[in-house]
Amino acid sequence: MTSRLLLLCLTLSPLCALADAVRVSLQPQATLGKGLPELRVHIEEPIAGFEVKLKRGDGQEVRVKGGGQPGVTRTLRLEQPEGRFHYEGELVVRFPDAQESSMPLSFDAELVGPLRMTVVPEDVDVAGRKLRFTLSRPASHVQVTVLMDTGKKAFDGEVPFQGEPAGKPLEVTWPAAEGRVLRISLKAFDTSDFYTALELFPWQVDIPHEEVTFPTGSADVPTAERRKLDASHSLIADAVSRYGRFAEMRLYILGHTDTVGDTDSNRELSLQRARSIAAYLRKRGLKLPIFYEGFGEQSPRVATPDETDEATNRRAEYILAVEPPALPQPPFPPRWRKL
């Protein structure tokens, strides 16, 4: 494109002569890794040479000298960081008779990197039917699809924005619908029509079950307790058959203990018990990916003093999900082990 500011010709004859002698055009945008913005000086009449003097918005100075015969185009590649920068300066031309003339330069140039969308877990409010996110560049609009676990869509449409600046929280909402939210698909566009896409799977289901009673200090599943895991296997398999056609399901098993014993031993014991449950369900024929973690005494159902024999805290959780489940105030970031 040719900038009007670059071709301003006033009534002063030296500047008009300059405009006849050279023409300046601008390629104001380039993609990171594929080029740079460019300022082009087109020489149309004989000149002795020229100099481009620019100052970038962050204070960086650019000075380039050049010349050539009529018909030649000199290209100045604007080395700059990612983002949009304003340039101010001038083009000074020397003529064969030793006279000089200049024209003002004022323009913006942008080096466009990958558009980034950021969503943090606390900004996914499934109960409130809303989601917040940020973009790394000004926002134009976002295409949103909210799929429920019934197979129906709660929302499938476009949400407009007004060029909100990079980093400003943006929000989308959707109406109430039957079932639980399985997948949220976002395709966000910046004001230059670049886009980025993201899929979220906030869906998770707690599988009700009878707790397996382990012998004190043991992680082996007693023979008499296997019927409980057989019943759990049936419930999990049923849930997978209902929801697995929409996304790949995973089973997460969380082990817990009471406060009898030291913290480190209890965590290791809960981890091994969770693994034993996972191994039994796998042997029973469960084919979906299974992950497990042990929280020991650090995430009790009922708060108790240390060294308290509390049966309700000796438990496991079975969570069916697509992504690692959202846990309410976990005592530490879980390190999920895959069986």
Chain segment 284-314, per-residue pLDDT in tens: 999 999 999 999 999 999 999 999 988 889 9
Reported as a pLDDT band with limits 50, 70 and 90, residue 84 is: confident
Distance CA(276)–CA(113), nearest Å, equals: 48
Tell me what pLDDT residue 13 has. 36
Tell me what pLDDT residue 246 has. 83
Q: How far is CA 118 from CA 136, 156, 198, in A?
A: 8, 21, 9
Q: Are strands 290-294 and 181-190 parallel, antiparallel or unpaired?
A: unpaired
Reported as a pLDDT band with limits 50, 70 and 90, residue 18 is: low
Tell me what pLDDT residue 19 has. 64
Residues of the chain with CATH 2.60.40.2550: 4-112
Reported as a pLDDT band with limits 50, 70 and 90, residue 14 is: very low
CATH 3.40.50.10470 for domain 117-200: no
Residues of the chain with CATH 2.60.40.1220: 117-200
Topology, domain 204-338 = 60s Ribosomal Protein L30; Chain: A; (3.30.1330)
State the DSSP string of 121-177.
GGGEETTTTEEEEEESS-EEEEEEEEEETTS-EEEEEEEE---PPTT--EEEE----
Q: Which CATH number applies to 4-112: 2.60.40.2550, 3.40.190.10, 2.60.40.10, 3.30.565.10?
A: 2.60.40.2550
Tell me what pLDDT residue 20 has. 80
Stated as kind and residue range, the H or E segment containing 180 is none
163-173 pLDDT tens trace: 999 999 999 99
Q: How far is CA 195 from CA 36, 89, 113, 138, 163, in A?
A: 20, 33, 11, 11, 14
151-204 pLDDT tens trace: 999 999 999 999 999 999 999 999 999 999 999 999 999 998 889 999 999 999
pLDDT at residue 16 above 90? no
Tell me what pLDDT residue 17 has. 53
Reported as a pLDDT band with limits 50, 70 and 90, residue 135 is: very high
Mean pLDDT rounded to a whole number for the chain: 90
Distance CA(194)–CA(139), nearest Å, equals: 10
Q: What percent of the chain has pLDDT over 70?
A: 94
Distance CA(301)–CA(134), nearest Å, equals: 36
Residues of the chain with CATH 3.30.1330.60: 204-338
